[in-house]
Amino acid sequence: MKSKSMKEIKDEIMSSRCHLSFEEKNFQVGLLEPHFFQTSVFPIIHDNEKSLDLLGTAFCISSNGFLLTAKHVLKDLTDKKEREGVVKNGVIDFTELNLYVLYCTNIVLVEGQYFGGLLPITNITYSNESDIALLTIDIPTIDDVRVPLMQFTLSPGIPKLYQQTMAIGYSKKLVTFNGDLSRFQRTINNSLNASKGEIVEIYGNKRDSILLKFPCFRTNARYDHGMSGGPIISVNGGVIGIITMSLSTEDSQEPYYSHGVLLPPLLVMKAKYRESADSKIKEDYIYDMAQAGYFSIDDSLKQIRVTRNRDNRIIGISYSVPKANEIL
Domain boundaries, the chain: 6-153+176-188
At residue 31, does pLDDT exceed 60? no
pTM of the model: 0.86
* Burial state string for 288-301 with b = 16 or more CB within 10 A and e = fewer than 16: ebbeeebbbbbebb
Task: State in words which class domain 6-153+176-188 has.
Answer: mainly beta
* Residue 324 contacts residue 200 (beta carbons within 8 Å): no
Q: In terms of Cα–Cα distance, which of 45, 18, 12 is closest to 168?
A: 18
Q: Residue 1 — very low, low, confident or very high, per pLDDT cuts 50/70/90?
A: very low
pLDDT of residue 8: 72
- Rounded to an integer, the average pLDDT of 157-168 is 91
Q: Residue 5 — very low, low, confident or very high, per pLDDT cuts 50/70/90?
A: confident
DSSP labels, 250-292: TT-SSS--EEEEESHHHHT-EEEE-SSTTSPPEEEEHHHHHHT
Q: Which helix (H) or strand (E) holds 182?
A: helix 181-190
User: What would the pLDDT profile of 43-70 be if each residue is shown by its tens digit?
Assistant: 998 887 777 788 999 999 998 899 999 9
Average pLDDT, the chain: 80
3 state SS of 199: strand
Please name every residue paired with 98 in a beta bridge, in sequence order, or none if there are none. none
> CA 290, CA 297: separation in Å to the nearest integer?
7
Amino acid letter, 157: G
Phi, psi of 297 (to 5 degrees): -145, 145
Beta-strand ranges (E) seen in the chain are 41-47, 52-62, 66-69, 87-88, 91-92, 99-110, 113-126, 133-137, 141-142, 145-146, 164-170, 192-203, 216-219, 231-234, 239-246, 258-262, 270-273, 282-285, 305-308, 314-318
